[in-house]
């Protein structure tokens, strides 16, 4: 006489939906990671031993190593750079332009930009990275 019940039951975990969940998580993180810094322009700034901060909100003028000019991350041809900066001066007369120039460019390229700023009587500040970085 056998009074014990037979234990032929097995425990299973259904994992069919885990593939869908993992796919959606992967897709979500890929989309979010591209939205973090969508318009970053890579520059190698010159180094400086001293630093100074600007309290007002300046306009960023970036010049990449291949001589592409950007005003606030919007590409502008060099021929229209003076007109674009003049339009910015019309909006805000007391304007400071923060120059972010790649360290691979020549001094003449920097002088060309400073000449445009001098025509418009702009305050221009050259951005550098600190020597400790």
Percent of the chain with pLDDT over 90: 10
User: Is 8 among the domain residues?
Assistant: no
Per DSSP (E only), the strands in the chain are 47-48, 59-63, 69-71, 74-76, 96-101, 123-126, 129-130
List the one residue out of 97, 93, 34, 30 whose CA is nearest residue 62: 97
Euclidean distance between CA atoms 12 and 73, whole angstroms:
55
Average pLDDT over residues 104-108: 88
User: Is 108 among the domain residues?
Assistant: yes
**75 φ/ψ angles, rounded to the nearest 5 degrees:** -70, 135
Domain count, the chain: 1
Q: Is the pTM of this model over 0.75?
A: no
pLDDT tens for each residue of 61-99: 899 989 899 988 889 998 998 998 888 888 887 788 888
User: Is 113 among the domain residues?
Assistant: yes
User: Is 17 among the domain residues?
Assistant: no
Token pair listed for 11: 């425990």
Give me the CATH number covering residue 59: 3.30.420.270
């Amino acid at each position: 006489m056998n009074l014990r019940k037979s234990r032929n039951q097995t425990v299973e975990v259904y994992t069919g939906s885990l593939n869908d969940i993992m796919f959606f998580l992967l897709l979500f993180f890929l989309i979010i990671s591209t939205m973090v810094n969508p318009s970053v322009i890579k520059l190698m700034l010159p180094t400086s031993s001293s630093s100074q901060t600007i309290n007002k909100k300046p306009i960023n003028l970036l010049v990449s190593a291949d001589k592409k000019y950007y005003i606030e991350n919007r590409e502008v041809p060099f021929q229209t750079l003076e007109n674009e900066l003049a339009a910015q001066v019309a909006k805000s007369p007391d304007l400071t332009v923060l120059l972010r120039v790649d360290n691979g460019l020549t001094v003449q390229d920097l002088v060309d930009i400073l000449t445009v700023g001098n025509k418009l009587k702009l305050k221009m500040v050259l951005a550098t990275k600190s020597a400790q970085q």
